A and B are shown apart, each in its own frame.
Chain A
Amino acid sequence: MIIWTIAKNSWVDQLRNRFYYLIILFGGVLLYVSLLVGVLAVEQELRVLLDLGLALIELLTLIAAIFVTTTSILREMERKTIYLILTRPVSRLQYLLGRFFGLLISVACAMALMGLVHLSVLLAKGWKFDLFYPLVLFYSLLKVWLICSLSMLLALYASSTLTAMSITLILWLLGHFGHEIAFLVKKSAGIKAALLQTVSYIMPNMTLFNLREVWQHPDFVFSWSVFGASVAYALLYSSACLFLSQRLFNSKEL
């Protein structure tokens, strides 16, 4: 109940702040792009619109998620609004989980709304609905889930918004090079291999969630076991981040 109360508070606070602006911005960009691609990509209009739209949704949500997660708890500490919460019968774990799920719900809502705008434009242009569309969005959400938990941990560790944001962005980028790092591990030996192996374990493996890039490939086959493994990975990785965040947060003096 306490976790839900805090999550709802985060959600309402975010929705009244910058998320609507983000959606309006995205809607504007998307409509502008849809008009442009009609002129620039005569035969590939739908394909470009689909790919560009999905990439934009993921990117905008991700940037917003990193920004909001890294700033929210640190801002609460700075403004001391956290005092009014933690001086009640609320544990630090409950607070952390409440904030985390609240931010995640906000991000999921923003993503769903942006998806609806995108889908409306696609359908208006004559695209035939594919069930993989919501699944692609779900995979993007898993990426954001993972990044939210990682940026929360980094924000608590670094105690600086800019540092936490920069490191999260770097890890997010590196996370897309999972195959390349695995290749380098195979090609290396000794300490170098061990180091690269450690890095590959610590980094979030974003390649597991790249359905957006492969679902339209003619050879693509959907597998429930791969789906299950991806969800399990996201859950385990974010649980580990949240566990470490809680340890850090418990030791923090406010």
Chain B
Amino acid sequence: MAMDAALSYLNVTKVYSRSHLGRRYDTLGLSELTLEVRAGEILGLLGLNGSGKTTSIKLALGLLTPSLGEVRIFGKRPQEDGTLKDVGFLPELPYFYPNLSPAEALRFYGRLSGLRGGDLEKQIGVVLERVGLEPQRKKKLGEFSKGMLQKLGLAQAVLHRPKILFLDEPVSGLDPVAIRDIRELLSQLSREGCTLFLSSHSISEVERLCHRVAILVRGRLARLVESAEWEKAPGRLEQIFIETVAK
């Protein structure tokens, strides 16, 4: 494992087991994934539905346990004390408690991340300003649009100044303006040194944002592509992706 690895998958396999009427059914989620994400880079995960993108993210966050192998974040297992304090996560279509305001929701998540008092209040102001939700500070989240919820999702993910950010389909279902806003925010975070690990179906977004892209096919890492490679390719990243998944 390289010293500058922010995230490492070491031969990770995940099998989902389900029992029904005494019979066990196994589904392969991820197979022997070995991958390193360098500190400060943006790595995108591309794949068809069920290729293992969300499984990879959940394994890194400790929401799932690997069947084989191990995942390390800055050299530590996700379940170890203190690992998750440097981690931010934006799930696909985040859902919030509808009766809270954005400031109340952020106060809750901030406290869980260890922020307190003046620092917490200052950070709430900073991230709300940054995602453009400051004018809606007191509005109930039940009245928020999908794009606004996504922005709040990003705000809660970066509130505690994480070193690595996991994003599951960050632009899914958003309108073009919201997509542009989210993209700009992510680029800015990357410039500030935050490592970004994102899964997406949107090849064009991944192409614009990422330094490297990992293509997963049926739970296996089929190809790892550097940005220089797709910039030179005739059909760019889309062509590489289609060729890879068609194999």
Chain A residues proximal to chain B, CB less than 8 Å: 1-2, 5-6, 9, 12-13, 16-17, 79-81, 83-90, 253-254
A59 CB to closest chain B CB, in angstroms? 26
Bound Cα distance A88, B81 (Å): 11
With both beta carbons as reference points, the residue of chain B lying nearest to A83 in the complex is identified as B91
Nearest Cβ distance between residue B167 and chain A, in whole angstroms?
Answer: 12
Closest to A78 in B: B95
Docked-complex contact B156 and A87, CB < 8 angstroms? no
Q: List 23 A-B contacts (CB under 8 A).
A: A1-B111, A2-B111, A5-B108, A5-B112, A13-B97, A13-B99, A16-B99, A17-B99, A81-B96, A81-B97, A83-B61, A83-B89, A83-B91, A84-B94, A87-B61, A87-B166, A88-B87, A88-B113, A89-B82, A89-B112, A89-B114, A253-B16, A253-B64
B123 interface residue (CB < 8 Å to A): no
Q: How many A-B residue pairs have CB under 8 A?
A: 69
Among B96, B97, B104, B166, chain A packs the most CB atoms within 10 A around the CB of B97
Chain B: interface residue total (CB-CB under 8 A): 30
Q: A13-B99, A89-B85 are in contact. Are A254 and B112 (CB under 8 A)?
A: no
B103-120 to A contact mask, C-beta < 8 Å, 1/0 = 010001101111000000
Given contacts A84-B109, A86-B61, A89-B85, 12 further A-B contacts (CB under 8 A): A1-B111, A5-B108, A5-B112, A17-B99, A80-B95, A83-B61, A83-B89, A84-B156, A85-B109, A87-B62, A88-B85, A89-B113
Nearest-neighbour CB distance to chain A for B155, whole angstroms, equals 11
> 8 Å CB contacts to A: which residues of B178-225?
none
Main secondary structure of the interface of A (DSSP, over half): helix
Residues in B lying within 8 Å of A, measured CB to CB: 16, 58, 61-65, 81-82, 84-85, 87, 89, 91, 94-97, 99-100, 104, 108-109, 111-114, 156, 160, 166
Q: How far is the CA of A125 from the CA of B166 in the complex (A)?
A: 62
By the criterion CB–CB under 8 Å, are A9 and B97 in contact?
A: yes
Instruction: Output the nearest chain A residue to B95 by Cβ-Cβ distance.
Output: A79
Inter-chain contacts of B58 with A (CB < 8 A) = 254
Q: How far is the CA of A17 from the CA of B97 in the complex (A)?
A: 11
Q: With A and B bound together, what is the CA distance between A177 and B205 in angstroms?
A: 64
